Structures are given as C-alpha cells and as structure tokens.
Amino acid sequence: MCGIFGYIGEERPLQLWLDGLSRLEYRGYDSCGVATIKNDFIFIKKQQGKILDLRTNLKNLSLEKFNIGIAHTRWATHGKPNNLNAHPHIDCGKKIAIVHNGIIENYLLLKEMLLAERHKFLSQTDTEVITHLIEKFYQGNLLGAILKCVKELKGSFAIAIISTYQPKQLIGIRKGSPLILGLTDKGQFLASDIPAILPLTKKVVYLEDEQIAILEKDKVNIFDFEGRPNRVNIERINIKEEQALKKGFPHFMLKEIFEQPEVLDKTFLLYLKKEKIHFPQLNLKESFLKNLKNIFITACGTAYHAGYLGKYFLEKYCGVNVYIDVASEFRYRNFNLPNRSLLISISQSGETADTLFATRDAKSKKIKVLSICNMLGSSLAKISDNLILTPAGPEIGVASTKAYTAQILVLILFSLYLAKIKNIISEKFYQDAIVELKAIPNLIREILGQSKKIKSIADKFSKFGCFLFLGRGINYPSALEGALKLKEISYIPAEGYPAGEMKHGPIALIDEYRAVVCIAVYDNLYEKMVSNIQEIKARNGKVLAILNYQDIQASKLSDEAIYIPRLKNQDFSPLLIAPVLQLFAYYVAKNLGKEIDQPRNLAKSVTVE
Ligand code: M6R
C-alpha cells in the first residue's frame, strides 16, 4: 500500500517523478505528492485525489528540471485522504522531507514525546513522527540521525528522504515494506516496486530488511541499522517494459485476463521437462516429501482461493492432510504444526503483511516453507527456503487475474509431482494429466473468444443489486473467487457459497431480485448442482450458469448460460472457469462505469495489517 519513488542524478524534468509515480498508482490512489530541492529550499506539492490531478496542478512546473526528488501515492491508514495528510511530510525547520509506505505502530507515543519537545505537527499521519525524530536527532550528520531514528520506530516502513542538510543525497530505508533501487550511469532511482523503474533501468538492488541506502548521482552505499557498510548486490531484471503497459487494452485487468494462456504456457516451459514435472529451485528432499503427512496453506484474497483449490488437489492426489486458513487468522491461531509438515504460502506480490508474518512464524517453529510467488525479489521469496515462481509477469490491475490461474496451475503441477514421489498415482494418470493440462491454454483462448457473449450477459445482469456464486467440490473455491472479483470491482454485494449449504440459510435470500451464478460443469457433483438450480428457479431467482458445451439438464433451467469445454479430468476445470468469471465481473463493472483498475478503498499490495 502506498507507492514511493525517488531520483537523484542529472537534472530531469519534474515529469520524471510524476511518471514514475503513475506506474505505482495501483498501490494506492487517494492522494499524492512530490518534493524536491531547489536553491537550498524544499519545494513540496501535495494533492488529494489522483496523480492526474497533481499533474494538472503542476502543469506549468512539470518541465522544470531538478536533480533530486521524492514522490508518493497514498492509501490512507492514519488520517483522512486530504492535502494535509498526503505525503511528503516535512520537519519544523523545513529541512527534511520524507515519504513513507508502512505503519509506525508506536507513533502516538512518539508524537506525544515530540509534542512535549515543541515539535509542530501538521497532519494526523503516523509518518510525520519520522521527520520530527530525524530533526530531533540531527547533529550535523544525517545518517547518524537516521540511525537513531530507526531504533525508535516500531512497525514496518519503506522511507525515502531528501534534506537540504545533504542535498546531494537521496536516502532510502527499508524495514518490512518493499524498496528497490534502480541504478544508471546518470542517476539513481528508488521505488516501491519494479514497474516504476522498468522504463528507466534494468539494473536493480533489492534492499534487504533493516538496510539504509544512500544514493548519490554516481554512487550507492548501503548500511545496516548499526551503521555498518553492507555489500551492494546488483541484479538485472528480466522483465520487458511493455509487460507493464496496457498494450491497447482499455484496462490492465482486461489485458491481464487475456494474457492467461501465455502465462500458463510459460509455466509449462519452466516446470515441464521432457513431459516430466520438475521444480529446479526446490530444496525439499525426496525422503521428506515421501513421508510428508500435513500441509498447511496460507494466503490472502485471491491467492487464498488458489490455495483452497490446492487443498482439493493435494488431498485427492497425495493422500496428505491439508489445512488452509487466511493468513490474518492463521498467524493468530494456536496452530500446532507437527513435524513432517510443510507450509505453503501463496502470494502474487510476496509483500502481503499477513502472509509474511504467518510464514515467518512457521519458520520460527522450524516448519519447512514453500512459497508460490509472482515476484522474485519480494520479501516472501527471500524468506522462504523453497520457492516456486509463478511467471505471470507484472500484474497491475488491483483485481488479481493472471496470477490466480498461474497459482492454480503451479498447485496442480506440485500435487502431481508430490503424488508421483509418494507413488500414489499411476504413470498413466500422470501422463494423461500433463497432456490435458497442456491443452488448457488453447481452451482458454477459445473461452476468451466468447468475450462478446459474456459482455452481453454481464450487461443484463449488472442491474442486480446482490449476487450469490454457487459451486460444489473443486468449484466451490471458484465460486468464492467469482464473488470476490465481482464485489471488488463493481461494489455489488456478492457472496460465494458451497451450493450444498443453500438450504442451511442463504436460500432465504432468493427471490426475483437475486442473481445466482451457478457453476455446474459435468463432474461427480453435477446432479446435485442441477437440484440446487431447480431450488433457486422454484423461488424465482435469476440463474446464470457456467456449463459444459454438452449440457442438457442445467441449460434448460437457467436464464442464461456460458459454455466451456468439458475436460477428461474435471479437477482442472477451475482453470477454465476463472477467465469466465473474471470477464463477467469486468463487464459488469464496466457497464456500471466503475474504476476497474483502481477500485475504491483497495490497493494492490496489502503491506500493512
Ligand atoms: O499479493 P497477494 O497475492 O499476497 O495479495 C493477496 C490479496 O491482497 C489479493 O489477492 C487481493 O485479494 C486481490 N485484490 C484480489 O483480486
């Protein structure tokens, strides 16, 4: 949450900061601001609203050149989104400006102390204490003051600082929240995430936790929180700039939905070798996997729904006990993680605070961790002893789409891999599964070809004020995900439910004003789903069914239906259902004129609790 961007180097127009910030806008978008130094003064401009508003306000200035600056796009935690609470924040002497991503948990205590020392606060944010603390500790050496300051702070933070005390230095600090450096011969950048610097450089440094980077026009030094110099580990990122552009699509979400076949193909390239599943980065010994009895899965949001599907695959194919919980609950439960357990943590960003805490907790209990993550340099990737990367590329739309299908595929592949090691499935089953999975990207292409039809159905259904998404067995998690997609971008109340639970309560909701999306593909629970559809129709609910092409029963009962190919192994059907439900949510939101890529109150990475 919140995006930060900074630059020091040859003079560049203010536009540079605004462009960098725009590429981070998916992280938060309720207010924004920029600060730079000119003629020994700190110049700050802040704006409630989007970066576009800030650009408009800075129109005359945007071509003016500066050689240092920081910028911020905010997702409010402490204090309303307004001009005063927008970052950057400045100290009383107007010498130090900072931007921050994270939460300072002890800010109230610190603020009280600083107020007693006559520091003047202008905002209600937790962030402002940082500027005043540095001001308090400054005695001619900025790094010295920062080292004292970070010792006082509890919580998570990525911070960028400029100061007229040392106008030739841009300072970045990381503890708990992501911060990367981008290096060039003409200047250095810092940012919360890769897309911000993609068009500017491919040479990056992933700052580690508890590191401070001092960037100058032509050099970078890194220190730990004790002030000791650290090695600067430069890496090259292998992501093309166009991957973070809309490429002619009206929204990132739509582009990312359409990228799914390609992402799945890439996943096969990485993890299939001569028709055998292999995970080259896995450090789990075969003997450990053979004897593995318990798997815990934790994640948040869409990644949790992928994990839920993983539970079905792992239980069915590998004969292990699988427990799953959202990370925000898992981390506070008294879970007894026995020996011979594995924790699977799933996250697109690898920066979700709860998932990270849950993972660290399991690690402290000596449980082996396998992460499924989309971001190589992320905190999750770094703390996990085992990583399976999902090669979905940058996902910019706040609603997760392509990362979800990549997570599902990786979980299927991992289940088959484990089942084979445990000798539970036959070679034929394994080979047939691989052949069928490899055909899925083309089947998704076929489904995406139906987008016009899905749009016209979505247009009709967008008048409903409340949705239920029903599925059973393997497609119960698909129903959960369909409901989440719809509610987060259209703001229509939507609930995902196991269809078998309808009679235990939710059926009371059904009347002619309720829309019910029923996933009723041919599998062992098809007949039961058909009965559930009957029950909804008997109470005048409006049914949109997701069915197989050959369907004869449910299609007759439903008001509308979207058809998908039938697989030999219907366990893999969630991979085909996901794009249908994503497109449906997308077109409902579009019809209602909602801000699809940046839904209200949400942010792409939830880096605070
Ligand atoms: O980056 P992560 O996968 O850890 O994020 C988890 C959730 O915050 C995320 O999936 C969220 O629910 C999305 N907005 C769903 O579309």
Q: How much is the pLDDT for 14?
A: 93
Which residues lie below 8 Å from residue 111, measured CB to CB, with a gap of 6+? 121, 128, 129
Report d(CA 23, CA 244) in Å as an integer: 8
Q: How much is the pLDDT for 62?
A: 77
Residue 335 has pLDDT above 80, yes or no: no
| Position 609 in a domain | no
Residue 606 has pLDDT above 90, yes or no: no
Higher pLDDT among residues 359 and 337, named by residue: 359
Q: Is 120 a catalytic residue?
A: no
| Position 565 in a domain | yes
Task: Say whether both 233 and 253 belong to one domain.
Answer: no
Report d(CA 544, CA 522) in Å as an integer: 16
Q: Which domain holds residue 433?
A: 246-444
Task: Say whether both 574 and 474 belong to one domain.
Answer: yes
Residue 242 has pLDDT above 80, yes or no: no
* End residue of a domain, out of 185, 217, 242: 242
Which contacts of 320-325 are long-range, i.e. CB under 8 A and separated by 24 or more positions? Answer: 320/292, 320/293, 320/294, 320/295, 320/418, 321/293, 321/294, 321/295, 322/294, 322/295, 322/296, 322/297, 323/294, 323/295, 323/296, 323/297, 324/296, 324/297, 324/298, 325/296, 325/297, 325/298
* End residue of a domain, out of 383, 410, 444: 444
| 173: its two tokens | 């600090």
| Position 606 in a domain | no
Q: How much is the pLDDT for 511?
A: 92
Residue 81 has pLDDT above 90, yes or no: no
Pocket test for ligand 1, best of 302, 305, 328, 345 (most atoms within 8 A of CB): 302
Task: Say whether both 473 and 347 belong to one domain.
Answer: no
Cα 300 to ligand 1 centroid, rounded to whole Å: 6
For the four alpha carbons of 43, 49, 52 and 58, in that order, the dihedral sign comes to negative
Task: Say whether both 208 and 126 belong to one domain.
Answer: yes
Helix or strand holding residue 38 (H, E): strand 31-38
Residue nearest to atom 4 of ligand 1 (CA): 347
SS3 266: helix
Cα 173 to ligand 1 centroid, rounded to whole Å: 25
| Position 602 in a domain | no
Q: How much is the pLDDT for 604?
A: 80
Higher pLDDT among residues 11 and 244, named by residue: 11
Q: How much is the pLDDT for 530?
A: 96
271-288 confidence digits (pLDDT tens): 999 999 999 889 999 999
31-51 confidence digits (pLDDT tens): 999 999 988 999 999 999 889
| Position 382 in a domain | yes
* 538 DSSP 8-state letter: H
* End residue of a domain, out of 242, 275, 301: 242
Q: Is 2 a catalytic residue?
A: yes
Residue 443 has pLDDT above 90, yes or no: yes
| Position 522 in a domain | yes
Which residues lie below 8 Å from residue 477, measured CB to CB, with a gap of 6+? 305, 306, 308, 309, 312, 471, 574
Pocket test for ligand 1, best of 352, 389, 478, 595 (most atoms within 8 A of CB): 352
Ligand 1 atom closest to Cα of residue 606: 8
Task: Say whether both 238 and 250 belong to one domain.
Answer: no
Mean pLDDT within 328-345? 87
Number of C-beta neighbours around residue 140 at 10 A:
7
Mean pLDDT within 344-372? 93
| Position 603 in a domain | no
pLDDT band with cut points at 50, 70 and 90 for residue 313: very high
3-state SS, 445-487, equals: HHHHCCHHHHHHHHHHHCCCCCEEEEECHHHHHHHHHHHHHHH
Question: What's CA 490's distance to the chain center, in Å?
Answer: 19
Task: Say whether both 162 and 237 belong to one domain.
Answer: yes
Q: How much is the pLDDT for 495?
A: 96
Report d(CA 102, CA 108) in Å as an integer: 15
Q: What is the pTM of this model?
A: 0.88
pLDDT band with cut points at 50, 70 and 90 for residue 609: confident
Q: How much is the pLDDT for 21?
A: 94
As a whole number of Å, the end-to-end CA separation of the chain is 11
Residue 456 has pLDDT above 90, yes or no: yes
Average of per-residue pLDDT values in the chain: 94
Residues with CB under 6 A from ligand 1: 300-303, 347-349, 352, 355, 398-400, 484, 488, 602, 605-606
Residue 63 has pLDDT above 90, yes or no: no
Task: Say whether both 114 and 72 belong to one domain.
Answer: yes
Task: Say whether both 263 and 151 belong to one domain.
Answer: no
SS3 521: coil
Instruction: Return the amino acid letter for 607.
Output: T
| 547: its two tokens | 């069915």
**pLDDT > 70 fraction of the chain, expressed in percent and rounded:** 100
Q: How much is the pLDDT for 154?
A: 95
Ligand 1 atom closest to Cα of residue 602: 14
* 132 DSSP 8-state letter: H
Mean pLDDT within 348-372? 93
Q: Is 600 exposed, middle or buried (0-12, 13-18, 19+ CB in 10 A)?
A: exposed
Task: Say whether both 135 and 273 belong to one domain.
Answer: no
CATH number for the domain spanning 43: value is 3.60.20.10
Q: How much is the pLDDT for 61?
A: 83
**Cis status of the peptide bond prior to 88, with omega within 30 of 0:** yes
Higher pLDDT among residues 221 and 52, named by residue: 221
Report d(CA 458, CA 444) in Å as an integer: 19
CA 379 to each of CA 187, 200, 306, 353: distance values in angstroms, whole numbers, following the listed order: 26, 23, 20, 10
CATH number for the domain spanning 260: value is 3.40.50.10490
Report d(CA 144, CA 166) in Å as an integer: 12
Q: How much is the pLDDT for 245?
A: 80
Number of C-beta neighbours around residue 583 at 10 A:
26
pLDDT band with cut points at 50, 70 and 90 for residue 238: confident
Query: Contact 486/494 with Cβ under 8 angstroms?
Result: yes
| Position 604 in a domain | no
Query: Contact 42/94 with Cβ under 8 angstroms?
Result: yes
Cα 487 to ligand 1 centroid, rounded to whole Å: 14
| 6: its two tokens | 């900074």
Which residues lie below 8 Å from residue 433, measured CB to CB, with a gap of 6+? 412, 416, 569, 572
Q: How much is the pLDDT for 310?
A: 98
Rounded to 5°, angle at Cα 157 from 155 and 160: 155
| 393: its two tokens | 């590329």
465-498 confidence digits (pLDDT tens): 999 999 999 999 999 999 999 999 999 999 999 9
Task: Say whether both 363 and 392 belong to one domain.
Answer: yes
| Count of domains for the chain | 3
CA 296 to each of CA 307, 311, 321: distance values in angstroms, whole numbers, following the listed order: 10, 9, 8
Cα 602 to ligand 1 centroid, rounded to whole Å: 10
pLDDT band with cut points at 50, 70 and 90 for residue 340: confident
CA 299 to each of CA 73, 118, 330, 358, 455: distance values in angstroms, whole numbers, following the listed order: 26, 44, 9, 9, 31
| The CA-based dihedral angle spanning residues 79, 84, 87, 90, taken in that order and rounded to the nearest 10 degrees | -120
517-560 confidence digits (pLDDT tens): 999 999 999 999 999 999 999 999 999 999 999 999 999 999 99
118-138 confidence digits (pLDDT tens): 999 999 999 999 999 999 999
Mean pLDDT within 88-117? 96
Residue 79 has pLDDT above 90, yes or no: no
Q: How much is the pLDDT for 26?
A: 82
Mean pLDDT within 104-130? 95
Task: Say whether both 120 and 206 belong to one domain.
Answer: yes
Task: Say whether both 12 and 59 belong to one domain.
Answer: yes
Mean pLDDT within 47-67? 89
Q: How much is the pLDDT for 377?
A: 82
Determine how β-strand 41-48 pairs with β-strand 3-13.
unpaired
* 19 DSSP 8-state letter: H
Q: Is 511 exposed, middle or buried (0-12, 13-18, 19+ CB in 10 A)?
A: exposed
493-516 confidence digits (pLDDT tens): 999 999 999 999 989 999 999 999
